[in-house]
Chains A and B, each alone.
Chain A
């Protein structure tokens, strides 16, 4: 640990950093998402044309990234709640983080095919 810093490194600090980064990313997407959904009040065509962008391969990978950010923020958020409210939460915060990462990896593997398959079909033909 470098001298003269409050940052302690390891699981505690890096999960805190990742929680901030994923939170900001999801919040910015939320603005875009409310705006694109608001197009249903303009016309069906305006909405369908915009949603077509979400179905392109490049944006499909960004959606997979969004799922990654949301899942980490959700699972680590539950870990934060456990640290705050469960009497043994603080003692097991590292184990809790590695459980979060394990579950996150599992869910990301499960989400890969449903979220990305249409992008692969479009890129490489069915």
Chain B
């Protein structure tokens, strides 16, 4: 969006907000950067990026509450981090409410973070191979961490010893 590309209408005045276009003075056509054809690879014919964009905003709103609540409980209230122990975790995960809280927070935060990292890899890794292997590493680490965290929440045993 550079100013040099701003279309100047036929009248010679610069385009301003509220400029009226009419059949005699049609708005400039903006070519799509990549037209979709039947020969476009399947992965770019879907709305994946749109749903990813929407997911970042929806999960972001939920995570604001989940994560700030989590930080309040773990780091601020009732002595801060000094009261955190196995017994404290056992006390909280005795309640399905906090299990659900932590499970939803785990999944949303990992997927939100992974999608953000995917964007950053796409932005900065220029070689196809580098991008591919960085994403393999990202998706492997993400899948492992989500599964491990889920397993820990569901199989937690307060009487392990």
Q: Which residues of A contact B (CB under 8 A)?
A: 20, 23-24, 26-27, 30-31, 34-35, 37-38, 40-41, 43-45, 47-48, 51, 54-55, 60, 63, 67, 70-71, 74, 77-78, 80-81, 84-85, 111, 114-115, 117-118
Chain A proximity of B87: nearest CB distance (Å): 8
| B56-91 contacts to A (CB < 8 Å) | 57, 60-61, 63-64, 67-68, 71, 75-77, 79-82, 84-87, 89
Known: A41-B155, A115-B80. A81 touches B61 (CB 8 A): yes
Stretch from B24-32, B37-45, B109-117 forming part of the interface with A: B109-117
Q: How many B residues face the partner with a CB closer than 8 A?
A: 39
Question: Which chain B residues border A114 with CB–CB below 8 Å?
Answer: 75-77, 80
Question: Which chain B residues border A37 with CB–CB below 8 Å?
Answer: 89, 149, 152
Q: Which residues of B contact A (CB under 8 A)?
A: 57, 60-61, 63-64, 67-68, 71, 75-77, 79-82, 84-87, 89, 106, 109-110, 113-114, 116-117, 120, 141, 145, 148-149, 151-152, 155-157, 160-161
Chain B CB within 10 A, most for which of A35, A43, A114? A114
- Give the docked Cα–Cα distance between A55 and B75 (Å): 10
A20, B68: Cβ atoms closer than 8 Å: no
- Give the docked Cα–Cα distance between A80 and B75 (Å): 27
- Give the docked Cα–Cα distance between A27 and B119 (Å): 13
Question: Which chain A residues border B161 with CB–CB below 8 Å?
Answer: 43-45
Q: A34-B106, A41-B155 given. 20 additional CB < 8 A pairs?
A: A23-B116, A27-B113, A27-B116, A27-B117, A38-B149, A40-B152, A43-B161, A48-B85, A63-B81, A67-B71, A70-B71, A74-B63, A74-B67, A77-B60, A77-B64, A81-B61, A84-B57, A114-B76, A115-B75, A115-B76
| Majority secondary structure, B binding face | helix
- Give the docked Cα–Cα distance between A85 and B161 (Å): 52
Known: A47-B89, A51-B84, A81-B60. A30 touches B152 (CB 8 A): no
Chain B proximity of A46: nearest CB distance (Å): 9
- Give the docked Cα–Cα distance between A114 and B77 (Å): 7
